[in-house]
Amino acid sequence: MLTDEKTTNKSELLLEYEELIKKEEISWRQKSRALWLKEGDRNTKFFYNVANANKRYNSIDQLCVQGKIIQKNARIEGEIVEFYQSLYTETIYWKPTYQFPNCPVLSTEEKESMQGSFEEEEVLRCLKMCAADKAPGPDGFTMGFFIRCWEVVKYVIMNVFHNFLEKDMFERSFNATFITLIPKKKGMLGLHINWGKSFLYPINEVTTMQPLNAILGGEIGSLPTMYLGMPLGANSKSNENWNNVVEKCEKKLARWKRQYLSLGGRLILFNFVLDSLPTYMMSLFLIPAKNISRLDRIRKKFLWQGNKDRKSYHLVKWESLIIYKKFGGLGIKNLDTHSKTLKMKWLCKYANDKETLWGRVIEAKYEEEDRWITKEITTPYGVNLWRSIRDLWNELKCFFKIKVNNGAKTRFWKD
């Protein structure tokens, strides 16, 4: 039986022990740079292994110098210092002087001409010596433009030259081209197509691709392809579009040392990192049930299989885990519901922003039904993208409540 004094001492020692453990965890977490885990997860072993792996990766255990292997730290350090000292040290301490007794020199008139101000005729003559139809500079204009529009742009160009003579310096951007400083018309954009890096993609069969390519340049590509992380010209219902997403998730998991993570750490990791990988694709494309099963299988395995060399048991059924925390679940995303929610945002955007370009295109193609949505798409042909979004309207409108206001968008018998 402990006395009151010993009980108090025990409590103080436990608090001190907890504080030391926390400090050790924070120290190793900072060394490991694993910023995606929070303090307090008690993953000191994981942080320790990550930090040691980083240290081993960045360390130089041996060095080959003139065919000999050096392994002692002191010699390795000395060889590195000596190498960079010789690299950045000038070995020649004298500078030769050159004398050209028979070299022609500039006359006084030539010196004055070289030091004088620039004349309009001189600048225009130099411009005309340049090829008019050569590739344009960063501003998008060829020399032919400045030659033909000289009477308009000469004041700006000559002002640049005069400022240079007065201040004996010019902006660093002049090194690219001083003509980029010419002000453009207000509201105009300086963007132009770089045909050297562009591709022409024919849709279906286009017989004029070769003549177009000869005029525009670039290369001829073929659909489907990837653009900004999205499949372009591919079947939106195809499982092949999602293979890349599934492979990314598998590669991401392969780099994580899950055997060193607690169950809570693994849950945080795939809720905030792993589940974000397919979100971009799900915001537009309907994810097939087969791929949902594949992603769920990956998530289940990562959550329950802490030690990848040992067989794991799923202690709770998956349907109970994908419920909100306030209802007893773990708040894991239901991928099917998440995908539908992301696409329902487009329905809300269409209802409120129909005057945008994409909204007008959708309305012109599918026609408006009741001021909020387009007509239902029943044709078997065409793009599946908007059809998959439009099919969710009946599920979404159950959550709407119509406010009459002035009644301009309210239908008396239907709403």
Whole-model pTM?
0.47
Q: Are residues 218 and 163 in the same domain?
A: no
Residue 52 lies in a domain: yes
CB 156 within 8 A of CB 120: no
Closest CA to 343 of 374, 373, 385: 385
Q: Are residues 241 and 326 in the same domain?
A: yes
Q: Are residues 257 and 283 in the same domain?
A: yes
Residue 88 lies in a domain: no
Domain count, the chain: 5
The DSSP bridge partners found for residue 230 are 227
Residue 71 lies in a domain: no
Region of 332 (left: φ > 0; alpha: ψ -120 to 50; beta: rest) is beta
Residue 104 lies in a domain: no
Q: Are residues 213 and 297 in the same domain?
A: no
Q: Residue 188: its pLDDT value, please?
A: 47
Q: Are residues 216 and 283 in the same domain?
A: no
Domain span holding position 163: 117-181
Q: Are residues 239 and 319 in the same domain?
A: yes
Q: Are residues 241 and 308 in the same domain?
A: yes
Q: Are residues 269 and 214 in the same domain?
A: no
Residue 70 lies in a domain: no
Task: 150-153: list long-range contacts, CB under 8 Å, 24+ apart.
Answer: 150/124, 153/182
CB 128 within 8 A of CB 150: no
Q: Are residues 324 and 242 in the same domain?
A: yes
Burial of 245 (0-12, 13-18, 19+ CB in 10 A): buried
Task: 406-411: list long-range contacts, CB under 8 Å, 24+ apart.
Answer: 409/371, 409/372, 411/370
pLDDT tens digits for the chain (415 residues)? Answer: 678 788 888 888 888 888 887 777 766 555 554 444 444 455 556 656 666 666 666 778 888 888 888 888 888 888 888 888 877 776 555 555 666 667 777 788 888 777 778 888 888 888 888 877 665 666 667 778 888 888 888 888 888 878 877 776 666 655 554 444 444 444 545 556 666 677 777 777 777 778 777 777 777 777 777 776 666 766 666 777 777 788 888 777 776 666 667 777 777 777 777 777 788 778 877 788 888 888 888 888 887 775 555 667 777 888 888 888 888 888 888 888 888 888 888 888 888 877 888 888 888 888 887 777 888 877 765 556 788 888 888 888 787 777 777 777 676 776 6
Distance CA 44, CA 66 (A): 42
Q: Residue 38: its pLDDT value, please?
A: 46
Residue type, 18: E
Residue 207 lies in a domain: yes
Residue 305 lies in a domain: yes
Q: Are residues 264 and 322 in the same domain?
A: yes
Residue 263 lies in a domain: yes
CB atoms within 10 A of CB 339: 23
Q: Are residues 273 and 344 in the same domain?
A: no
Q: Are residues 351 and 326 in the same domain?
A: no
DSSP-derived pairing of the beta strands 199-200 and 68-70: unpaired
User: CA quadruple 330, 335, 338, 342: dihedral positive or negative?
Assistant: positive
